[in-house]
């Protein structure tokens, strides 16, 4: 089992370009697994973890409701925002500047074949990262992602998650609000959930800005420990 994970920092990139790049890596891994099975081979499959920051974009998961986008196509243009229907699970979410987005493209045969466990470990990596900032984050029963003050009138989501998996290969991932412009969430019903707000790390800490690379470093540390991964940092 190959537990090496190649970490790539993609910088500030258009959503569609990164989606296409994910699909390419995802397909290469699937093709290798299929070839291994058909030809009784044992060639190693690769694992990747992509970090990126996107321009303003709304994405709707395959099980989502388009009515959860509350603005028109013209209003999207006015806000310099894009909209895509995509092939991950979950409903609608927002990505934009100030958000740390992570896309693990893992062959779970290298780690464990359990999607529920995979999602819980991604959540745990975020929870442990936030704990380093003295923020007590938690899960909300039946709602994937990471939240604050669940069970109170002040419940708010700080990290959204949505994944796709085929033959135990994953893509898409998580979006942690670090310095996000929360006004863009007013244009959607986030994740299709009407009764909970959203928040961002800088707001919770009462600071103007938190360095994204600082948060990424902490998240990587916890991801590696939880998955037993060996990180390979790309230039």
Q: Is 89 annotated as belonging to a binding site?
A: yes
Name the residue range of residue 87's domain: 4-233
228 is in an annotated binding site: no
**The pLDDT value given to residue 191:** 56
Residue 195, pLDDT above cutoff 70: no
DSSP H stretches of helix in the chain: 15-38, 73-78, 115-131, 201-205, 212-227
Determine whether 159 is an active site residue. no
Task: Please pick, among 122, 165, 169, 191, the residue that the annotation labels catalytic.
Answer: 191
Helix axis angle, 115-131 to 212-227, nearest 10°? 130
Q: What is the CATH number for 81?
A: 3.30.930.10
- Total structural domains in the chain? 1
Q: 173 a known binding residue?
A: yes
pTM above 0.85, yes or no: yes
pLDDT-wise least confident of 17-21, 28-32, 62-66, 114-118: 62-66
């Amino acid at each position: 089992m190959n537990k090496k994970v190649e970490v790539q920092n993609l910088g500030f990139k258009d959503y569609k370009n990164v989606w296409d790049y994910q699909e390419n890596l995802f397909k290469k891994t699937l093709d290798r697994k299929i070839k291994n099975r058909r030809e009784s081979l044992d060639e190693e499959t690769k694992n990747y973890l992509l970090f990126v920051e996107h321009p303003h974009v709304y994405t709707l998961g395959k099980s989502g409701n388009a009515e959860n986008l509350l603005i028109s196509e013209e209003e999207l243009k006015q806000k310099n925002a894009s909209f895509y229907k995509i092939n991950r699970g979950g409903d609608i979410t927002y990505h934009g500047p100030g958000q740390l987005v992570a896309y693990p493209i893992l062959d779970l045969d290298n780690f464990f074949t359990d999607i529920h466990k995979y999602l819980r470990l991604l959540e745990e990596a975020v929870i442990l990262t936030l704990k380093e900032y003295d923020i007590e984050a938690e899960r909300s029963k039946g709602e994937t992602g990471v939240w604050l003050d669940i069970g109170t009138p002040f419940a708010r989501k700080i990290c959204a998650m949505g994944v796709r998996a085929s033959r135990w290969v994953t893509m898409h991932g998580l979006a942690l609000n670090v310095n996000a412009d929360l006004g863009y969430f007013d244009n959607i019903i986030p994740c299709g959930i009407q009764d909970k707000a959203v928040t961002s790390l800088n707001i919770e800490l009462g600071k103007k800005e938190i360095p994204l690379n600082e948060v990424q470093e902490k998240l990587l540390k916890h991801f590696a420990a939880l998955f037993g991964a060996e990180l390979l940092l790309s230039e």
